[in-house]
């Protein structure tokens, strides 16, 4: 099963308005299908995600953990190009993690970003009048300079959220992590090779390596285990037709697909378990 893209509860839409389940909904539905199927002896979770909304990641992982506790089954994660921040967080459901040497992973942390246009407004003589019920109702408003106490409040809340992230990692991999935790948990992203050195993953390998290992953990002796795929939901002819058309007319972007979803005002000011390109922790 796959975890691909930005992890949110927002429905996905085609360029002509057809609506599909969110990344979070699809992940939970697929996991429930596989974990409950008695024919499935092990699950391989293929991850290619920069993370996403904090609440979506938290709710989804808790849902997966509850199902795994009720229906115990080996789970192996296979990282593709990126399994960072919330993508890594979600992978804590796995008993073993594989990655490519060039995979970008880690980015254990929380980020919130706020626009501020107060200087621009002053330059052009634009004013914003705000009527509010309390001193902090317009906290970190883009239309005025932030107060020091506001920034400190949001920073404290960020530390609270990142403690939740690191606790999940410690519970899943605490005995495997090697090195200075302050460095590992400071938000930096690691290559797959470096992630192996510090214990964030278990081995360097491909999807096929992960499948072979999952089969072994599931007690499957066949050299080429049978791969079970969830049946695609049947749709009516009209939706299928428009779905095919939408793929052809969807505008192309020069940005990596997940980041089209990040560059959107609905994420401004929202705490995120997400990797935004900065630097690679190769110290």
Residue with tokens 């007690």: 219
Q: Encoding tokens for residue 239?
A: 């939706």
Q: What is the CA radius of gyration of the chain?
A: 21
Contact status, residue 25 vs residue 19, Cβ threshold 8 Å: no
> How is residue 228 annotated by DSSP?
P
Name the catalytic one among 36, 62, 132, 137.
137
Label residues 13-30 b or e (16+ Cβ within 10 Å = b): eeeeeeeeebbbbbbbeb
Number of C-beta neighbours around residue 6 at 10 A = 27
Q: Are 148 and 239 in contact (CB under 8 A)?
A: no
Give the burial class of 248: count Cβ atoms within 10 A of its Cβ; 0-12 exposed, 13-18 middle, 19 or more buried: exposed
Catalytic-residue membership of 252: no
DSSP label at residue 280: B
Which two structure tokens, joined as six digits, stand for 215? 């089969």
Assigned token pair, 236: 């009516």
Residue 85: active-site member: yes
d(CA 166, CA 37): 32
Element (H, E) at 191: strand 189-191
Q: Is 215 within 8 Å of 96 (Cβ atoms)?
A: no
Give dist(CA 1, CA 35) in Å, integer. 11
Catalytic residue among 56, 85, 107, 191: 85
Q: Which residues are catalytic?
A: 85, 137
């Amino acid at each position: 099963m796959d975890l691909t893209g930005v992890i949110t509860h927002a429905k996905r839409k085609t360029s002509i308005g057809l609506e599909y389940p969110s990344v979070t909904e699809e992940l939970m539905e697929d996991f429930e299908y596989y974990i409950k199927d008695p024919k499935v002896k092990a699950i391989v979770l293929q991850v290619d995600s920069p993370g996403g909304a904090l609440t979506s990641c938290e709710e989804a992982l808790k849902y997966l953990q509850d199902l795994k506790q009720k229906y115990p089954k080996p789970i192996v994660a296979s990282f593709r190009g990126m399994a960072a921040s919330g993508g890594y967080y979600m992978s804590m459901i796995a008993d073993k993690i594989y990655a490519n040497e060039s995979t970008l992973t880690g980015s254990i942390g929380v980020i919130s970003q706020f626009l501020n246009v107060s200087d621009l407004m002053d330059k052009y003589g634009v004013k914003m009048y705000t009527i509010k019920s309390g001193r902090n109702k317009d906290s970190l408003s883009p239309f005025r300079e932030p107060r020091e106490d506001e920034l400190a409040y949001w920073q404290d809340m960020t530390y609270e959220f990142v403690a939740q992230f690191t606790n999940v990692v410690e519970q899943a991999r605490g005995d495997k992590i090697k090195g200075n935790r302050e460095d590992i948990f400071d938000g930096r992203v690691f290559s797959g090779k470096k992630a192996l050195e510090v214990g964030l993953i278990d081995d360097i390998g491909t999807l096929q390596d992960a499948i072979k290992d999952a089969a072994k953990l599931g007690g499957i002796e066949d050299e080429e285990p049978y791969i079970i795929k969830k049946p695609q939901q049947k749709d009516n002819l009209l939706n299928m037709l428009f779905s095919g058309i939408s793929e052809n007319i969807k505008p192309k972007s020069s940005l990596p697909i997940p980041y089209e979803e990040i560059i959107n005002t609905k994420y401004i000011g929202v705490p995120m378990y997400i990797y935004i390109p900065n630097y690679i922790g190769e110290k």
